[in-house]
């Protein structure tokens, strides 16, 4: 039997088992529960390995066979972002478009440089001499908030709709922008600043971002036209699936941002006006249920994988210390990066009280950050930044994710 089919089967079985345990006993949001159970499971496997290493060897084999960066960034992310955008309130997003745009571009860039500079100084203080450009790379990979983690948790946190739209909208777009910022800095770090001109950087950034959005707009329009011309829910569901799969392949071939293309296409297809004109009630129900199922399945597999990634970490005391100290640094830098955009739009768009605080605590990090950290080379201090990233992500999902609801309730009182 094919090894990849076997590994996929094991991951789906574990996802179902851990999901059942969470729903039946822990009753945590799925994102948090699955990750928590997987980490506990992996630690138990570690403990058992002192007596029998069979389970640990099997888990290590699974992790070694999976290129997490490729699986998430090149495959899963397109499906997850399309599903998330499809169910985003387009009218609210339209009202909040300017803050969302500024949060997901200006906010990511400012956060990248703030985190990079602060981590550069922090590592110096604890005796780790790391090049500034590599610290900037870390700033780029940790700055985007993860829509996959955010969407799942905010639904159960009671966040006001206006604010939820800002956080979700920002998360949907800023991971695409964040990936492009990361790739741009990665190019500079790999080739050297001397070999890249400012025009090269602008061209790479502009082509990926604008090209991705234009491609997504075109795909969304084609999908709308095709669905409008027929009335067959089976084929219409398949058309949406073809949009995501075909669009992702085209984006990669043309070197455009697939995440931004899928977000744009999803927002167009999910728009209420487009739905009314192109989908019957039964088609709308089937399309929504299909993409909800895809979203849940891939989410469960993703967070089981994140929990298992603990096996690829290099546990050095300095690395763990750096990771723990980086948690407040990342939160503070996010708070500062949102100050200007929030003050700019506060009066015009009637922001809820303590918007910055809720957006800082509700801006969760997830699989995208880990996937990008795994893409670093050894020369870029991959082991160090992977440990720091993992610690920030685990804190973000388990601690911030579990407490964001309580924070919102306290502020509303």
Domain boundary, last residue among 50, 65, 80: 65
* Same-domain pairing of 271 and 351: yes
User: Among 9, 15, 2, which residue's Cα sits nearest to residue 296?
Assistant: 15
> pLDDT higher for 375 or 223?
223
At 205, the pLDDT band (50, 70, 90 cuts) reads confident
* Same-domain pairing of 296 and 379: yes
From 196-210, 254-268, 314-328, the region with the lowest mean pLDDT = 196-210
Predicted pLDDT of residue 194: 61
Predicted pLDDT of residue 69: 86
* Same-domain pairing of 32 and 87: no
Q: Residue 246: give the domain boundaries.
A: 69-412
Contact 345, 149 (CB under 8 A): no
Q: How far apart are CA 262 and CA 267, in angstroms?
A: 8
Predicted pLDDT of residue 176: 84
Q: How far apart are CA 206 and CA 126, in angstroms?
A: 38
Q: How far apart are CA 36 and CA 373, in angstroms?
A: 21
Predicted pLDDT of residue 140: 95
* Same-domain pairing of 23 and 111: no
Domain boundary, last residue among 65, 86, 117: 65
* Same-domain pairing of 132 and 217: yes
User: Among 389, 364, 392, which residue's Cα sits nearest to residue 314?
Assistant: 389
How confident is the model over 159-176, as a mean pLDDT?
81
Q: What is the mean pLDDT of the chain?
A: 89
From 10-14, 84-88, 198-202, 390-394, the region with the lowest mean pLDDT = 198-202
CATH code for position 371: 1.20.1530.20
Predicted pLDDT of residue 201: 73
Between CA 342 and CA 359, with CA 404 as vertex, the angle to 5 degrees is: 15
* Same-domain pairing of 29 and 73: no
* Same-domain pairing of 298 and 337: yes
Number of domains in the chain: 2
From 90-104, 163-177, 190-204, the region with the lowest mean pLDDT = 190-204
Mapped onto helix, strand or coil, the DSSP state of residue 308 is: helix
How confident is the model over 387-409, as a mean pLDDT?
91
From 51-65, 76-90, 143-157, the region with the lowest mean pLDDT = 143-157
What separation in angstroms does the CA of 148 have from each of 44, 113, 142, 171, 178? 27, 24, 15, 8, 15
pLDDT over threshold 80, residue 203: no
Contact 88, 172 (CB under 8 A): yes
pLDDT digits (tens, 9 = 90+) for 51-79: 999 999 999 999 988 888 888 888 899 99
Contact 374, 137 (CB under 8 A): no
What separation in angstroms does the CA of 55 have from each of 10, 43, 175, 349? 13, 11, 35, 54
Q: State both tokens at 361.
A: 């605590």
No. of H helices and E strands in the chain?
21, 0
Domain boundary, last residue among 45, 65, 85: 65
At 339, the pLDDT band (50, 70, 90 cuts) reads very high
Q: How far apart are CA 27 and CA 21, in angstroms?
A: 8
pLDDT digits (tens, 9 = 90+) for 32-41: 899 999 999 9
With b for 16 or more beta-carbon neighbours within 10 A and e for fewer, the 295-328 pattern comes to beebbbbbbbbbbbbbebbeeeeebebbbebbbe
How confident is the model over 234-248, as a mean pLDDT?
97
Q: State both tokens at 165.
A: 């739209």
> pLDDT higher for 368 or 91?
368
Mapped onto helix, strand or coil, the DSSP state of residue 365 is: coil
Predicted pLDDT of residue 155: 67
* Same-domain pairing of 53 and 157: no
**Percent of the chain topping pLDDT 70:** 96
* Same-domain pairing of 60 and 105: no
Provide the 10 A C-beta neighbour count for residue 357.
Answer: 14
* Same-domain pairing of 165 and 108: yes
Instruction: Please compute Rg for the chain using Cα positions.
Output: 21
Predicted pLDDT of residue 193: 59
Element (H, E) at 395: helix 382-395
* Same-domain pairing of 10 and 109: no
* Same-domain pairing of 48 and 131: no
- Structure letter (DSSP) for residue 2: -
What separation in angstroms does the CA of 295 have from each of 30, 80, 148, 167, 214? 12, 6, 9, 18, 24
The contacts of residue 118 (CB under 8 Å, 6+ apart) are: 329, 332, 333
């Amino acid at each position: 039997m094919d090894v990849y089919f076997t590994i996929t089967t094991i991951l789906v079985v574990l996802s179902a088992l851990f999901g059942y345990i969470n729903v039946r006993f822990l009753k945590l949001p799925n994102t948090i529960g699955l990750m928590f159970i997987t980490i506990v499971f992996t630690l138990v496997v570690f403990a058992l390995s002192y007596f029998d290493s069979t389970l640990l060897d099997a888990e290590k084999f699974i992790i070694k066979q999976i290129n997490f960066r490729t699986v998430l960034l090149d495959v899963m992310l397109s499906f997850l972002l399309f599903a998330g955008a499809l169910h985003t309130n387009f009218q609210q997003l339209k009202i909040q478009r300017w803050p969302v745009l500024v949060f997901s571009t200006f906010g990511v860039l400012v956060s990248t440089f703030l985190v990079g500079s602060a981590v550069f100084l922090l590592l110096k203080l604890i005796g780790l001499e790391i090049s500034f450009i590599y610290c900037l790379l870390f700033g780029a990979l940790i700055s985007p908030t993860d829509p996959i983690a955010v969407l799942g948790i905010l639904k159960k946190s009671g966040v006001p709709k206006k604010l939820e739209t800002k956080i979700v909208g920002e998360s949907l777009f800023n991971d695409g922008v964040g990936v492009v910022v990361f790739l741009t800095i990665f190019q500079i770090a790999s080739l050297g600043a001397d070999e890249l001109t400012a025009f090269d950087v602008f061209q790479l950034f502009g082509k990926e971002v604008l090209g991705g959005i234009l491609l997504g707009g075109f795909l969304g329009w084609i999908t709308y036209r095709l669905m409008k011309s027929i009335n067959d829910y089976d084929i219409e569901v398949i058309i949406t699936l073809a949009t995501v799969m075909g669009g992702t392949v085209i984006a990669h071939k043309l070197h455009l941002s697939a995440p931004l293309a899928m977000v744009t296409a999803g927002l167009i297809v999910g728009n209420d006006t487009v739905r009314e004109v192109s989908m019957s009630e039964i088609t709308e129900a089937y399309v929504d249920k299909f993409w909800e199922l895809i979203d849940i399945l891939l989410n469960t597999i993703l967070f089981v994988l994140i929990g298992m990634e603990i096996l690829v970490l290099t546990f050095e005391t300095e690395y763990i210390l750096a990771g723990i100290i980086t948690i407040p640094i990342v939160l503070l830098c996010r708070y500062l990066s949102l100050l200007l955009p929030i003050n700019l739009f506060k009066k015009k768009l009637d922001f809820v009280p303590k918007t910055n605080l809720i957006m800082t605590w509700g801006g969760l990090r997830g699989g995208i950050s880990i996937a990008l950290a795994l893409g670093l080379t050894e020369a870029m201090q991959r082991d160090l930044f992977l440990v720091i990233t993992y610690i920030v992500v685990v804190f973000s999902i388990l601690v911030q994710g579990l407490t964001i609801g309580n924070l919102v309730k306290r502020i509303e009182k």
